Every structure is written in C-alpha cells, then in structure tokens.
Structure 1
C-alpha cells in the first residue's frame, strides 16, 4: 500500500524532473510542454502523478494550463506575481522606496549595458524609445513603452539576474508612472533623459549612461514628492 506521504514525495520528484526536461530541452516562455501521455512514458510514472506534478509547477508559476490547448512554460517562469510582497506592505511612501531601490541599482545597470550591449540590443532600445516618445507626444499613456525601455536596458547588461530583477521592480512601480505622467513637463523630461541614456549606451559611454540614468530617477523621485 502506497501512503499519501510517498505520493507527495513522488509528485515533487517528478516535478523536479519536468523542470529538468524544460531546462535540458531549452524550452522558452510560451513553449508547449509534451502532453500528459508522453510525459508519463518519458518519466515512467502514472498519468495521475504527472497531473499532480504539473499542479505543483503551476503553483510555482513555472507552467500554465491553457484549456483546450495544453500546458505551456509561463511567460516569467518561476517568478511569482508579487515576489516582493508589496501588496501587503504599508502603501505610505512605498513608491518612494521603490524609486530609491531603482536609484541604487539602475545607474549601474545602465553603465553595464553601455559596456555590453549588442547591436540587436541597441536596435531594440531605439525602437522602444521611439514608441515611448510617440506615446508621450500624442498624449497617450506611456507606461508600458517606458517600462519596455528599462527592461531592454536590463537585457542589454547580458546578466540573467539583472534581466529578471528590473521587470519585477517595474511591475511594482506602475503606479509611479500613473502618478507622474500628468505633471507638467514630466513627459518632456522623460524623453530628454531616455534619449541621453540611449545615446550613451549606443556610444558605449558607461559614465554618461550611469549619470543620466541617475538624474532620470532622481527627477522622477522629485516629481513624486511634489504630489
């Protein structure tokens, strides 16, 4: 007789094996996983165990189930919806704390991007800048295009940890973009600083990239304090 504890341990072990399959097969976010029958054969376990293991990976935000389509690797595998737990933090001054965190890390990330950015990174950054500039000049919400710009800088650092950290912080500060976007001259300053950072990265000027990113974030903090 197999006890429940043994079943749990088996499900966790199989979940780890599925994670290994994802890594070994270099599956990317959005890629489809083998179906239940195939996984059962590959891992030599029952289909019910596969189902339990998949549930574990879904709870860990590694896999997602799309009804009628199958099981897929999550867009941000392994990253929780609110990894910093800001939902349960006191909202007073939270936005400033998030910007303070950005001030500590993003200027250095910009410098690293200036040093390591590849041609495709610079091209993506130019496209993101033009989209953001267009949104601002047309009076549209530039939240997403602004965050895209910063996320591409993180990718340009060629550091996989940084690539994951920056989007997490940006997701937490969406409120910040909404609070500052209607402040007079806010859009003009956003365009100015983003263009300066872009030019510095294109020219591989680490010092300038760090300088203008620092000034950009400090400007944002100043505007938030005025609210």
Structure 2
C-alpha cells in the first residue's frame, strides 16, 4: 500500500517532537537543518519541510537564514500537542462533526421537549460563559463544549449523554483548533455566539423542531469553518 505523504509528515513530526524532548532543547536552540533531519529520519526533504512549516506556523519554532529552525520561548508541551492536531486528515474531523450533528440535533430537540427549568437555566449559564469568554478575548473552547454538554444532559437520555461525552476529547481538540484560527475575526465570533443564542432560545421556548434545526445549522457551519481552517493550515 502506498504511504500518503501527509502520513509521513506526521511521523516526521513525531520524531521531531521526540528529538526536542530527548535533547532537552530550550528556547534559542537550533534544530538540525532540513537536510540533516531528512538524513536522520531516512525520508525525503518534502515531509520534513511540511513538518517544519507546521511547527513554525504554530509558533513553536522560527526559521533562520542559513538553514535550521530556532526553538521559540513558549510552552513546548502545549504547542506540540496542539500542533500535532494540524496533521489530522480533515476528513476525520468532518466525520467527527457529522457524528456530532447526528447526536446533538436530536439532543437539542429532546432538551427543548424534556428539559426541566433547572436544565434550561444551566444551558443559559453556559451561554453566558461563552459570551464572557468572547468579551475577555479568550478562545472559549471549554465554555463552548460545556454549553453543548449541558444540552445533551437536558435530553434526559443517559445513553445519549454518554455518547456525546465520549466524543468530547476529540471534539475539544477540533474546536480549540478552529476557534483559535477564527479568534481574531470578530464577525465569525459574533456569528457563533448568535447561533448559540438561537439554539438556547428554541430550547427555552420548548420548540423541539426549531431547536433541532438551529443546532443542525450551527454544526454545519462549524463543518465549513473546520474545513477552511484545515485547508489554510495545510497550505500555509
């Protein structure tokens, strides 16, 4: 079976990550050159170049004239974890979102029809936390996830709640990646907040069909944003 070039890039990224940790590299240290890394890992320079470009785009390293990359002064562990997500095939993320659409549109409908007053108050609190995160110019991915989980809990279906929560780890990385890419675009941030507000309003009013439709539109818009963010990252 032919190995996809992007998969080789991901392997190279893993090896560079191991190299940084094994060599206990610090800010200001220089990574081997593209040619040296290619020889070290036994691959062509193309996947090495791709791995290095993603590291630089994420702020972990910076290229220097004459070859090689310099480790930046930042949290290496966190950046490595976040950067690795950029190597995930966008189709995998879209499959994840497709699953969220299947689960969460129905969760929104049930939340509107079955949710108690306390459930709906909790959803409202999570919505306010999203708004505050935006006002504070924070990414707000945890607040976003908490909002969606609160809706799932309001469905009163424990299996549905468990299914949504099982996807939370993967979804957290996906949404953190996308929100960071769109953080500086005020129009996109306002759009996401407005979508959440419409979902909550439909749930508060007990309109199950409307809640389902609003959630469907919100997650389909998220699919478009994720695809755009991944395309930008892979073509940068």
Q: TM-score, normalised by structure 1?
A: 0.58
Residue-by-residue CA offset, 1:11-34 (whole Å, 9 max, x unaligned): xxxxxxxxxxxxxxxxxxxxxxxx
Q: Name the counterpart of 2:213.
A: 211
Q: Secondary structure at the match of 1:189?
A: helix
Residue-by-residue CA offset, 1:48-98 (whole Å, 9 max, x unaligned): xxxxxxxxxxxxxxxxxxxxxxxxxxxxxxxxxxxxxxxxxx931221110
Higher gyration radius (CA)? 1
* Contact residue 117 and residue 157 of structure 1 kept, 8 A: yes
Q: Larger deviation: 90-99 or 122-131?
A: 90-99
**Aligned counterparts of 1:96 and 1:186: Cα–Cα separation in 2:** 19
Deviation at 1:158, TM superposition (A): 0.4
Deviation at 1:171, TM superposition (A): 1.8
* Contact residue 180 and residue 186 of structure 1 kept, 8 A: no
Q: Name the counterpart of 1:59.
A: none
Higher helix share: 2
Listed as ranges, the gaps of 5+ residues in structure 1 are 1-89
Structural mapping, 1:143-162, within 5 Å: 143-162=141-160
Q: Name the counterpart of 1:200.
A: 202
**Aligned counterparts of 1:152 and 1:139: Cα–Cα separation in 2:** 23
**Aligned counterparts of 1:135 and 1:197: Cα–Cα separation in 2:** 18
Deviation at 1:200, TM superposition (A): 0.5
| Matched residue count | 139
**Aligned counterparts of 2:195 and 2:148: Cα–Cα separation in 1:** 12
- State which of 164, 167, 175 in structure 1 corresponds to 2:165: 167
Deviation at 1:169, TM superposition (A): 1.3
* Contact residue 195 and residue 214 of structure 2 kept, 8 A: yes
Structural mapping, 1:94-113, within 5 Å: 94-113=92-111
Q: Name the counterpart of 1:136.
A: 134
Q: TM-score, normalised by structure 2?
A: 0.56
* Contact residue 143 and residue 177 of structure 1 kept, 8 A: yes
Higher relative contact order (CA 8 A, sep 6+): 2
Deviation at 1:102, TM superposition (A): 0.9
Structural mapping, 1:3-18, within 5 Å: none
* Contact residue 103 and residue 164 of structure 2 kept, 8 A: no
Q: Name the counterpart of 1:186.
A: 188
